[in-house]
């Protein structure tokens, strides 16, 4: 049976967003429109139904809208975020920002949000560790910054508006607010969904259902999906606050904060000058007591070592949290695909929750588009579970390690942490043992049929020059490829290879571009100049001016790389679009 919002509110320390207080956030409200089924009384059939308009469901809908794929998006609520007050996700990683650029919402996010790359970690009064993500190879080539901090609901609002704009120019995504799924079943031929709305109940049928209903997904039970889960006793209380005199724009973390009973504290700036301060609480604390305004103010005063008047520090939102990890054992159950928190839940250390939901959506969108538009075989859809389950397991592993460092068990674990902190204060090598969250980075796919052993890696959004000298970004090339595979062929080619490239350029489902070093002569109609060698580097194609190719998927992952334009490329194309070898 489905739980209701009211039931959530009774649950202390759930993964939800209850116990809000303070001035809160004002969120947009979208109108309810009676669905056509309620007027006609007929049961309609839809090729694609997305359930849940959170960050994952909206990202998926937006990606599909860009490719002109028709889908229905159903959400039980009539707003983004959570009505009244909520700011859950705040940190958005480079890979996600690159996806948002392709979706057309990045510029708004960059304008509204706060960029950061420096993080500092303290224990007691000492700084024990710091990093600058801009200097790390995993982030250094991209045009996008390592991270932008912005309240999750802003991104969701931008996505809604972008979907609406795309829908106006080419009708494709029908968003139905205040439509709640109450029952589901599926058979060999179709899935049946029961819905309740303010104007009455109705039923619809679907070929594919994408479950984006979040961590309380009812589809898990409806599909009999098994889950591997872990729940600890670590407790936190978040305060979103606005200061008159702001601290530096860096991520500060304390593992043992003297002003918080030697427990951990996080401090981060978001949009609108609002700071997220996250305090670790005692495991047995009372959630209502720790979120009371006077108690929150006492904590803030202790941290900033003085009495902060209401004019100096405004409390925007407060909420206690408990974290857990969950991962479905498979992300596809018949006609249902699990995306975002419905598929996996992680603690927020390292910002891997919402980021991985957006990356799930990006992974599934191009595959659905290719299959529904007849460019790939239905088998391609199975690679979604293989790839994103591997990613989810990796994220669970990484965040659980952090959770254990922050709340070590008594005995050996605590001893290890004390030793690591002691050593890190004095020795560089020990700083990597201090784990306050390994920040979200793109996952690698090692067991997917949709990329070979030379692929499965994410590229970064690097720059190059178009043939006419204008600057371009990899995102532009992927857009130009229009949802098809993108073959980048590097360097000058022998005549036979140039002929093969021209023949390949006519292959449906594939766009080909020759990537030249400065001074090289083009041999293909479409060519670009890789002045800095960043395209070659991000595709991991070896040799500064030698030949080589990389096959990129629409989600900017490398499907395969090779040296010669031979049958291995044809096989890679076949695998990437799910065709059998003999058909490729």
Binding site for ligand FAD (CB under 6 A): 15, 51-57, 74-77, 88-91, 152, 180-181, 212-214, 218, 238, 321, 340-341, 348, 351, 353-355, 357
At closest approach, how far in Å is the CB of 373 from ligand FAD? 25
Beta carbon nearer to ligand FAD, 215 or 465: 215
Diameter of the chain by CA atoms?
Answer: 77
Q: Under a CB-based contact definition with an 8 Å cutoff, are residues 44 and 204 in contact?
A: yes
Count Cβ atoms below 10 Å from residue 417 Cβ, excluding itself.
21
Residue 65 or 565 with smaller CB distance to ligand FAD: 65
Cβ neighbours of 207 (radius 10 Å): 14
- As measured in angstroms, the least distance from the Cβ of 487 to ligand FAD is 32
Place of tokens 């093969």: 500
Nearer to ligand FAD, 354 or 491 (CB): 354
Task: Assess contact for 278 and 266: CB atoms under 8 A.
Answer: yes
Min dist. Cβ of residue 418 to ligand FAD (A) = 27
151 with 55: CB under 8 angstroms? no
Q: Return the number of the residue (181 or 209) whose C-beta is nearest ligand FAD.
A: 181
Closer to ligand FAD at the Cβ: 89 or 578? 89
Q: What is the DSSP string of 281-316?
A: E-TT--HHHHTSHHHHHHHHHHHHTS---TTTEEEE
Q: Give the Cβ contact number of residue 288 at 10 Å.
A: 11
Q: What is the DSSP string of 442-493?
A: PPP-SS-TTS-TT--EE----EEEETTS-EEEHHHHHHHHTTSEEEEEES--
CA–CA gap between residue 488 and residue 539 (Å, rounded): 9
By beta-carbon proximity to ligand FAD, the closer residue of 192 and 465 is 192
Q: How far is the CB of 79 from ligand FAD (least distance, A)?
A: 9
The nearer residue to ligand FAD, 436 or 561, going by C-beta atoms, is: 436
Four-CA torsion 72, 73, 76, 82, nearest 10 degrees: -170
* Cβ(484)–Cβ(554) below 8 Å: yes
Question: Which one, 121 or 561, has the nearer CB to ligand FAD?
Answer: 121
9-to-12, 282, 325, 408, 430 alpha-carbon distances in Å:
8, 21, 21, 29, 43
Query: Minimum CB separation from ligand FAD for residue 163, in Å?
Result: 14
Nearest to 562 by CA among 500, 480, 473, 483: 500
71-74 and 45-51 strand pairing: parallel
Q: Which is nearer to ligand FAD, 76 or 473 (CB)?
A: 76
Closest CB to ligand FAD among residues 218, 483 = 218
Q: Closest CB to ligand FAD among 145 and 348?
A: 348
Residue 125 CB, nearest approach to ligand FAD (Å)? 27
User: What is the nearest approach in angstroms of ligand FAD to the Cβ of residue 389?
Assistant: 15
Query: C-beta of 30: minimal distance to ligand FAD in Å?
Result: 11
Task: Give min distance, CB of 138 to ligand FAD, in A.
Answer: 17
How far apart, in Å, are the Cα atoms of 406 and each of 107, 130, 418?
A: 35, 17, 11
> Which sign, positive or negative, has the C-alpha torsion 457, 460, 466, 469?
negative
Cβ 436 to ligand FAD shortest distance, Å: 14
Q: Strand 332-333 vs strand 485-490: parallel, antiparallel, or unpaired?
A: unpaired
Query: Between 14 and 561, whose beta carbon lies closer to ligand FAD?
Result: 14
Residue 395 CA to residue 452 CA, distance in Å, equals 22
CB of 324 to ligand FAD, least distance (A): 10
* Pick from 149, 148, 147, 140: nearest CA to 460: 140
**Tokens for 519?**
């001074």
How many C-beta neighbours within 10 Å does residue 289 have?
11
Strands 180-186 and 557-562: unpaired
In the complex, what is the shortest distance from the CB of residue 346 to ligand FAD, in angstroms, rounded to a whole number? 8
Instruction: Give me the least distance between CB of 264 and ligand FAD, in Å please.
Output: 14
Looking at the Cβ atoms of 51 and 572, the one nearer to ligand FAD is 51
Q: Which residue is nearest to ligand FAD (CB)?
A: 54
CA-nearest of 398, 400, 368, 396 to 382 is: 368
């Amino acid at each position: 049976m489905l739980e209701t919002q009211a039931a959530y509110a009774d649950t202390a320390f759930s993964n939800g967003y209850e116990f809000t207080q303070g001035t809160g956030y004002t969120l947009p409200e979208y109108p309810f429109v009676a669905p056509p089924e309620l007027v006609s009384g007929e049961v309609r059939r839809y090729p694609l139904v997305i359930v849940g308009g959170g960050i994952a469901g909206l990202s998926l809908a937006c990606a599909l809208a860009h490719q002109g794929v028709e889908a229905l998006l159903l959400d039980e609520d009539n707003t983004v975020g959570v009505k009244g007050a909520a700011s859950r996700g705040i940190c958005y990683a480079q890979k996600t920002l690159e996806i948002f650029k392709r979706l057309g919402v990045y510029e708004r996010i960059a304008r509204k949000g706060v960029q950061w790359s420096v993080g500092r970690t303290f224990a007691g009064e000492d700084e024990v560790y710091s990093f600058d993500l801009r200097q790390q190879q995993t982030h250094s080539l991209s045009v996008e910054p390592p991270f932008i901090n912005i309240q999750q609901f802003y991104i969701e609002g931008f996505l809604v508006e972008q979907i609406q704009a795309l829908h106006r120019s080419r009708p494709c995504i029908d968003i139905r607010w205040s439509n709640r799924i109450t029952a589901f079943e599926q058979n060999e031929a179709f899935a049946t969904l029961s819905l309740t709305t303010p104007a009455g109940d109705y039923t619809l049928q679907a070929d594919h259902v994408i479950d984006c209903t979040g961590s309380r997904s009812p589809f898990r039970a409806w599909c009999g999906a098994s889950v591997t889960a872990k729940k600890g006793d670590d407790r936190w209380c978040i305060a979103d606050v606005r200061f008159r005199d702001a601290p530096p724009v860096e991520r500060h973390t304390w593992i043992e904060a003297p002003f918080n009973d030697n427990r951990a504290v996080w401090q981060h700036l978001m949009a609108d000058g609002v700071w997220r301060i996250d305090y670790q609480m005692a495991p047995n604390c009372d959630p209502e007591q720790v979120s009371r305004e006077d108690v929150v103010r006492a904590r803030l005063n202790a941290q900033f070592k003085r009495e902060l008047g209401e004019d100096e520090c405004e409390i925007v939102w407060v909420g206690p949290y408990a974290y857990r990890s969950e991962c479905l054992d498979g992300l596809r159950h018949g006609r249902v695909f699990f995306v975002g928190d419905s598929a996996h839940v992680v603690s927020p250390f390292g910002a891997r929750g919402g980021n991985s939901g957006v990356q799930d959506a990006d992974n599934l969108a191009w595959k659905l588009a290719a299959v529904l538009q007849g460019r790939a075989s239905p088998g391609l859809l199975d690679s979604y579970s293989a790839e994103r389950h591997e990613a989810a397991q990796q994220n669970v592993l990484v965040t659980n390690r952090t959770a254990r460092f922050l709340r070590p068990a008594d005995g050996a674990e605590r001893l290890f942490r004390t030793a690591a902190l002691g050593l890190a204060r004095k020795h560089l090598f020990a700083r990597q043992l201090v784990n306050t969250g390994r920040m979200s980075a793109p996952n690698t796919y090692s067991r997917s049929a949709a990329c070979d052993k030379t692929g499965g890696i994410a590229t970064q959004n690097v720059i190059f020059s178009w043939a006419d000298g204008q600057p371009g970004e990899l995102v532009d090339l992927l857009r130009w490829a229009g949802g098809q595979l993108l073959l980048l062929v590097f360097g000058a080619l022998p005549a036979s290879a140039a002929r093969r490239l021209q023949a390949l350029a006519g292959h449906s489902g594939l766009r080909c571009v020759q990537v030249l070093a400065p001074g090289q002569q083009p041999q293909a109609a479409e060519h670009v100049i890789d002045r800095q060698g960043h395209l070659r580097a991000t595709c991991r194609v070896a040799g500064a001016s030698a030949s080589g190719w990389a096959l990129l998927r629409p989600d900017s992952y490398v499907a395969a790389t090779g040296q010669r334009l031979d049958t291995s490329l044809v096989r890679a194309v076949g695998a990437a679009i799910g065709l059998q070898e003999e058909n490729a």
